Amino acid sequence: MNVYNKTIVVTGAGSGMGRELVFALLTKGARIAAVDMREATLEQTMQLAGQKAERISAHVVDITDKAAVEALPKDVIAKHGTVDGIINNAGIIQPFVRVNDLDYEAINRVMNVNFYGALYMVKAFLPLLLKRPEAHIVNISSMGGFLPVPGQSVYGASKAAIKLLTEGLYAELANTNVRVSVVFPGATNTNITANSGVKGPELPSSSSQKKGISMLPAREAASIIIHGMEKNKPRIFVGKDSKLMNILYRLSPAFATNLIAKQMKSLLPK
């Protein structure tokens, strides 16, 4: 779907890759409903957009609040008159510990933001998208959604759930006007750790740079995602590491799993 003159809803738009997705869409002539639970960061996104901010509406919404998400489409329509696509970008990681040491509060928080938040968005906007001449749903999963990462097992499970939800939507909507894409970012330079309220290394951690793994700039990742969206790609791999590990995991799941486990071993508590 060509995003020019389309209205796209972006969650997690106040910072990181969400903010860069907003800027990438603006560059291509789209209108954006920017969604984030933090009003201050949304205001920063608007300020940084400069004159293009006139094509952005800001919506302070906690996507884990089902009632608030269900009210969001009406607000977006009031601002823009229509809605043509959603990008479910908002997400958090878990504390960098093994499942045995992860408390249920952290588990529920990760699942509520990463899975249920995206599901609420899909359920709220899909009826409107089905009425458009063309529309698009983009769900951000993760390389950790198809490849197990020790210390982020529940995060990975939430992103694997997004993967299968999106692939299911792709199948269900195949004969409609709504296109569907799932995105698998690899190591991307964002502020997800700080936004998650988690102490410890980024996922993948900054120490990965010392191991020869470069972090993809968030701006470049956003550009890849929007390009894939406009090409109607059902699966969008972001970063060389994501592409490579997808191939390795398909060829030899055990080898790929052990490779990641070896790289992440030093990041886990003894």
pLDDT of residue 114: 98
Residue 106 lies in a domain: yes
Q: Which residue in the block uniquely carries the two structure tokens 């609420």?
A: 120
Q: Is the Cα torsion angle 93, 7, 221, 251 positive or negative in sign?
A: positive
Torsion of CA 180, 186, 189, 195, to 10 degrees: 70
Residue 163 lies in a domain: yes
- The number of domains in the chain is 1
Give the side-chain half-sphere CA count within 13 A for 225.
34
Catalytic residues, by residue number, are 155
Give the side-chain half-sphere CA count within 13 A for 149.
30
From residue 242, alpha-carbon distances to 144, 160, 213, 239 in Å are 9, 14, 11, 5
The residue among 22, 49, 26 whose CA lies nearest residue 36 is 22
pLDDT of residue 201: 56
Residue 169 lies in a domain: yes
For residue 237, give the CATH number of its domain: 3.40.50.720
Identify the band that residue 10 occupies on the pLDDT scale cut at 50, 70 and 90. Answer: very high
From residue 248, alpha-carbon distances to 144, 157, 206, 241 in Å are 14, 19, 23, 10
Range of the domain at 207: 7-267
Q: Cα–Cα distance between 168 and 95 in angstroms, integer? A: 29
Q: For 38-91, how does the pLDDT look when each residue is reduced to its tens digit (9 = 90+)?
A: 999 999 999 999 999 999 999 999 999 999 999 999 999 999 999 999 999 999
pTM over 0.85: yes
Residue 78 lies in a domain: yes
Residue 2 lies in a domain: no
Q: For 187-214, how does the pLDDT look when each residue is reduced to its tens digit (9 = 90+)?
A: 998 878 777 777 665 444 334 444 445 7
Cis? peptide before 185, omega within 30° of 0: no
User: Are the beta carbons of 135 and 179 closer than 8 angstroms?
Assistant: yes
Neighbouring residues of 124: CB distance < 8 A, sequence distance ≥ 6? 69, 70, 72, 73
User: Are the beta carbons of 200 and 96 closer than 8 angstroms?
Assistant: yes
Region 102-110 average pLDDT = 98
Region 111-132 average pLDDT = 98
The residue among 237, 225, 229 whose CA lies nearest residue 134 is 229
Residue 1 lies in a domain: no
pLDDT of residue 213: 55
pLDDT of residue 121: 99
pLDDT of residue 78: 98
Q: Beta-strand (E) ranges in 27-71?
A: 31-36, 56-60
Q: For 175-184, how does the pLDDT look when each residue is reduced to its tens digit (9 = 90+)?
A: 999 999 999 9
Name residue 185's beta-bridge partners. 238
The residue with greater pLDDT, 167 or 212, is 167
Residue 252 lies in a domain: yes
Average pLDDT, the chain: 93
